[in-house]
A and B are shown apart, each in its own frame.
Chain A
Amino acid sequence: MINIYKVSFKNLLRKRTRTVLTIFGIALSAWVLASLLGFNKGYEASLSRDIDNMGFQVLLTAKGCPYEAATLMLKGGTGMRYMSEDVVRQVAAEPEVDGVTPMLMQAIFDPNKGESGGIAAYLGVDPVTFPRMKSFLEFRQGRWFTDPDAMEAVLGYEAAELEQREAGDILLIPEKDIELKVVGVLKRTGTQDDGTIFMPIRTVQTLFNKPGELTGLGIKVRQDADIVAFEEKLYGLPDVQVVSLAQVKQTIMNLVTTARIMVFSIAVIAVLIAMVGVINTILMSVFERYQEIGILKSIGAMPWDIFKLIWIETFILCFLGGLVGTAITFGLSKLTEVLIRNLLPYAPTGSLIQLDARLVIMTLFSIMLIGVISGMYPAWKAARIRPLDAIRSEVA
């Protein structure tokens, strides 16, 4: 038996190419919309996870640019500034402090890295306090170094892949011609730890001739402490920069808001283009069927029937476009992530776009809403066609 949905659907099959192109246009805007919604959720979650995985809430670095310090903290970096090791005792004595871990980062140009050489970064960490603060790090092979002066290294997951080393292998530090024994390889964390070569801090200080010097001090604050007041107190220390991870997160989120507004504007434009496309397609099809719609009225269709018929056509287009769009979103999420990463001032590790059932429903709902609104004008226009006008135009 026939019904209005079947008639609407079959009407769309008359001009298949036009229908497919319109669905594709809607799908593209659904893709942009779903990716944006997924990005909103994913970015903040990834950034929070990155910061939580630091293991400490405050970082002290030698005085310098705060953004450089933030970069150092999140990505590792070169062009280091140094502070004295004395700061460790000073800070550890504060009542708000739960623990501290000193760090010394050094970088060397490795001619064998990549095609034309690259920077190899070594992070000197304290064998006692660092593992305690980063208790979530798990080993794929081996263990942490135990001796603070040991000529040993622990490799992050990607560093091990890149150097092609396993626990028990020897790792050569270029320029220094010094061999280290790899005692452990970490599991993948999705953070910057994956690309790091960890060494005992005293070994790094000795090998790179930086006795008593640090590039950073990670501070874990007690849960009941007033972190803001504590940070204020730290500002009193000479020649150090206080980097609050809460501030870093806020700074990055502020930078990202700009990018988010840009992406959101693109989504709005894409949705508007899709809306105009839908209105154009349906309106064109209404004008093409001017006489036929008039005849439908002569065989018993009320204005509301015609309105529904045309409205359902729009609805079907938007529903199919929404479905295809969400399928594209899932299928091309990696590509979308690369595109978005290129737009952002800083992108955390891990997945930037989080897709789930709720997001699919929200996207479909939004696209359907757009369909309902877009379909109103062509449907209203069609509902107003008078059979007499259609017949007169036939005679003409």
Chain B
Amino acid sequence: MNNIAINAENLTKTYSRGIEQIHAVNGVSLAIRAGEFVSVVGPSGSGKTTLINILGCLDNPTSGRLTIDGRGIFGDGRSFSERQLTRIRRELFGYIFQKFYLIPTLTVAENVMLPFTFYRKDGAENNVSRLLDLLGIEKRKNHLPGQLSGGEMQRTAIARALVNDPRILLADEPTGNLDTARSKEIGQVLKELNEQQGITIILVTHNPALAQTAHRTITLHDGNIKV
């Protein structure tokens, strides 16, 4: 069994700004094991978000190879359409962001089930109450997002990201909108999910304390991994 969840080889992403070429990701190679919890840190503009977008199939790399669960995604000149990327994403990834993007007129439970509107893996409906319970928001399931604390809203967003059983959870600054106590709480939730559910997590953060909850920290600088 292949226990490498993500394998990236020499990934690059180059943008053009006028005549200037910006290498947002500049030859990154890394391997993340299944069930590993990795944090990505680095100063602003170091390419963290660009890297996680490529790893999460939100964007095509300019060059390089990416293999997820042993399946070749990018490489050998392949480039995917938005539709193809969506198919890959909904099979493999769950995403959480700095903002929660919950629909204010849907209840917590309805927000968690929102991905079912578009796609549902077999048996995924059984995940709803398990996740609400696991994330400690079972009692709030009939509340609207406006009635929740920031931490509870992010827990709801995490449950929404996990409801279709993704292999990998990508978290881009998930505590950016939360105070220290709530940030710690979310860090703990991610750690428990990783340890108890075995979910592979890649966490992008500016918060050093949150980064330390991961098994391993990757530091980016000018689009490359700082050794």
Chain A contact residues, CB within 8 Å of chain B: 1-4, 6-7, 10-11, 13-14, 291-292, 295-303, 305, 309, 386-388, 391, 394-395
Q: Can you give 27 A-B contacts (C-beta < 8 A)?
A: A1-B125, A2-B113, A2-B114, A2-B116, A7-B103, A7-B117, A10-B106, A11-B105, A292-B101, A295-B97, A295-B101, A296-B118, A298-B95, A299-B90, A299-B94, A299-B114, A299-B115, A300-B86, A300-B115, A301-B118, A302-B83, A302-B86, A305-B118, A386-B82, A388-B53, A391-B53, A394-B98
**Beta-carbon contacts under 8 Å, B93-143 to A:** 94-95, 97-99, 101, 103-106, 110, 113-119, 125
CB distance from A299 to the nearest CB of B (A): 5
CB distance from A143 to the nearest CB of B (A): 71
How many Å lie between the Cα of A208 and that of B86 in the bound state?
Answer: 94
Is the pair A7, B98 in contact by a Cβ cutoff of 8 Å? no
Nearest 10 CB-CB pairings of A with B: A300-B90, A10-B105, A300-B119, A301-B118, A295-B101, A2-B113, A300-B118, A305-B118, A13-B105, A299-B115
How many Å lie between the Cα of A349 and that of B218 in the bound state?
Answer: 87
* B98 closest partner in A (C-beta): A394
* A12 closest partner in B (C-beta): B105
Q: A299-B114, A300-B90, A386-B82 are in contact. Are A291 and B104 (CB under 8 A)?
A: no
How many Å lie between the Cα of A146 and that of B215 in the bound state?
Answer: 115
* B173 closest partner in A (C-beta): A395
* A299 closest partner in B (C-beta): B115
Q: A2-B113, A303-B82 are in contact. Are A10 and B103 (CB under 8 A)?
A: yes
Give chain B residues whose Cβ lies under 8 Å from the Cβ of A6. Answer: 110
* B113 closest partner in A (C-beta): A2
Is the pair B106, A1 in contact by a Cβ cutoff of 8 Å? no
How many Å lie between the Cα of A153 and that of B104 in the bound state?
Answer: 75
Give chain A residues whose Cβ lies under 8 Å from the Cβ of B86. Answer: 297, 300-302
CB distance from A7 to the nearest CB of B (A): 6
How many Å lie between the Cα of A3 and that of B118 in the bound state?
Answer: 9
**B185 close to A (CB within 8 Å):** no
Please count how many residues in chain B sit with their CB below 8 Å of the partner chain's CB atoms: 32
Give chain B residues whose Cβ lies under 8 Å from the Cβ of A1. Answer: 113, 116, 125
Q: Residue B104 contacts which of A4, A14, A394 (CB distance < 8 angstroms)?
A: A14
Give chain B residues whose Cβ lies under 8 Å from the Cβ of A395. Answer: 49
Give chain A residues whose Cβ lies under 8 Å from the Cβ of B118. Answer: 296, 299-302, 305
Question: Across the A-B interface, how many residue pairs have beta carbons closer than 8 Å?
Answer: 80
CB distance from B2 to the nearest CB of A (A): 25
* B117 closest partner in A (C-beta): A4
Is the pair A299, B103 in contact by a Cβ cutoff of 8 Å? no
CB distance from B120 to the nearest CB of A (A): 9
**B164 close to A (CB within 8 Å):** yes
How many Å lie between the Cα of A299 and that of B106 in the bound state?
Answer: 16
How many Å lie between the Cα of A386 and that of B118 in the bound state?
Answer: 16
Give chain B residues whose Cβ lies under 8 Å from the Cβ of A300. Answer: 86, 89-90, 115, 118-119, 164
Is the pair B172, A299 in contact by a Cβ cutoff of 8 Å? no
**Beta-carbon contacts under 8 Å, B38-97 to A:** 49, 53, 58-59, 82-83, 86, 89-90, 94-95, 97
How many Å lie between the Cα of A300 and that of B90 in the bound state?
Answer: 5
Is the pair A394, B90 in contact by a Cβ cutoff of 8 Å? no
CB distance from A296 to the nearest CB of B (A): 7
How many Å lie between the Cα of A15 and that of B97 in the bound state?
Answer: 24
Is the pair B97, A394 in contact by a Cβ cutoff of 8 Å? yes
**B161 close to A (CB within 8 Å):** yes
* A14 closest partner in B (C-beta): B105
How many Å lie between the Cα of A259 and that of B186 in the bound state?
Answer: 69
Give chain A residues whose Cβ lies under 8 Å from the Cβ of B116. Answer: 1-2
Give chain B residues whose Cβ lies under 8 Å from the Cβ of A11. Answer: 103, 105
Give chain A residues whose Cβ lies under 8 Å from the Cβ of B90. Answer: 299-300
* B111 closest partner in A (C-beta): A2
* B157 closest partner in A (C-beta): A295
Give chain B residues whose Cβ lies under 8 Å from the Cβ of A295. Answer: 95, 97, 101
Is the pair A7, B97 in contact by a Cβ cutoff of 8 Å? no
Give chain A residues whose Cβ lies under 8 Å from the Cβ of B160. Answer: 299
Is the pair A291, B99 in contact by a Cβ cutoff of 8 Å? yes
CB distance from A383 to the nearest CB of B (A): 10
Give chain A residues whose Cβ lies under 8 Å from the Cβ of B53. Answer: 388, 391
CB distance from B15 to the nearest CB of A (A): 11
How many Å lie between the Cα of A302 and that of B90 in the bound state?
Answer: 10
Q: Residue A394 contacts which of B99, B117, B119 (CB distance < 8 angstroms)?
A: B99
User: Most A CB atoms within 10 A — which of B82, B105, B118?
Assistant: B118
Is the pair A7, B114 in contact by a Cβ cutoff of 8 Å? yes
Is the pair B117, A3 in contact by a Cβ cutoff of 8 Å? yes
* A387 closest partner in B (C-beta): B58
